């Protein structure tokens, strides 16, 4: 295959992927639960899905209790160390059996107020540069009571198991927090809405 053949094939694949994402957003029937339903259900001890099954939830806190959230009980701290999740600059949970990793990283130093949209474009461009097999699917901005949240979604067509990543960036008290959730593409009907719900329902407060 020649150079221009590869270029045009890449552009075609990106257009197909973009249209597929747009169609999926307009029709959430492929999800086990919609993002809105997931957000509404995060206040309970378990999340009820459309097929009648349930996902047990647990409360977690990190960064000296400045962030508190609910995540599935299947996710455990990397290294199984809850103490280090409080003191570390990174908070990482994983479900090794199902290939799921969820993590948040905080910057070391406080800075001036952060332009979340500009920062989002920067980290997405850096991620694409570092990972040639990454296919950027979407970037968007949402908001919560704690401020703006920048998101990008990316597809990794790796063999034998392709996976999906949802990354986000948020600012709290002039500190940037960046995170992501990676999961198998086949598990997107659950983890796509769940990732958005976990981040949108997280509570932020002064460090204790």
Strands 67-72 and 54-62: antiparallel
pLDDT at position 25? 56
Q: Is 161 helix (H, G, I), strand (E, B) or coil?
A: coil
Distance between CA atoms of residues 143 and 184, nearest Å? 27
pLDDT at position 172? 87
Distance between CA atoms of residues 197 and 69, nearest Å? 10
pLDDT over threshold 80, residue 98: yes
**DSSP letters for 101-138:** EEEEEE-SS--SPP-HHHHHHHHHHHHHHH-TTEEEEE
Mean pLDDT of the region 71-99 = 81
pLDDT over threshold 50, residue 1: no
pLDDT tens digits along 32-70: 999 999 999 999 999 999 999 999 999 999 888 889 999
Q: How many other C-beta atoms are found inside a 10 Å radius of the C-beta of residue 145?
A: 7
- CB 183 within 8 Å of CB 156: no
pLDDT tens digits along 128-145: 999 988 999 999 999 998
- CB 11 within 8 Å of CB 5: no
Q: Could you tell me which of 84, 99, 100 has the C-alpha nearest to residue 198? A: 100
pLDDT at position 79? 72
Architecture of the domain spanning 31-204: 3-Layer(aba) Sandwich (3.40)
| pTM listed for this prediction | 0.84
Distance between CA atoms of residues 117 and 139, nearest Å? 10
C-beta contacts of 107-110 below 8 A and 24+ residues apart: 107/175, 107/176, 107/177, 107/178, 110/173, 110/174, 110/175
């Amino acid at each position: 295959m020649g150079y221009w053949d590869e270029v045009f094939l890449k552009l075609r694949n990106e257009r197909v992927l973009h249209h597929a994402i747009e169609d999926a957003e307009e029709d959430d029937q492929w999800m086990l639960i919609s993002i809105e339903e997931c957000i509404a259900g995060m206040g309970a001890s378990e999340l009820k899905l459309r097929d009648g099954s349930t996902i047990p939830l647990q409360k977690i806190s990190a960064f000296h209790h400045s962030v508190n959230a609910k995540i599935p009980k299947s996710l455990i701290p990397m290294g199984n160390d809850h103490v280090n999740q409080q003191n570390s600059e990174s908070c990482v949970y994983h479900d090794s059996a199902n290939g799921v990793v969820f993590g948040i990283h905080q910057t070391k130093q406080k800075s001036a107020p952060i332009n979340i949209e500009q920062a989002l474009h920067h980290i997405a461009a850096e991620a694409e540069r570092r990972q040639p097999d990454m296919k950027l699917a979407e970037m968007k901005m949402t908001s919560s009571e704690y401020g703006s949240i920048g998101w990008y979604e990316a597809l990794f067509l790796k063999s034998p198991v392709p996976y999906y990543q949802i990354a986000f960036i948020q600012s709290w008290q002039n500190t940037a927090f960046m995170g992501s959730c990676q999961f198998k593409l086949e598990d997107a009907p659950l983890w796509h809405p769940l990732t958005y719900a976990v981040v949108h329902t997280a509570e932020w407060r002064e460090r204790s």
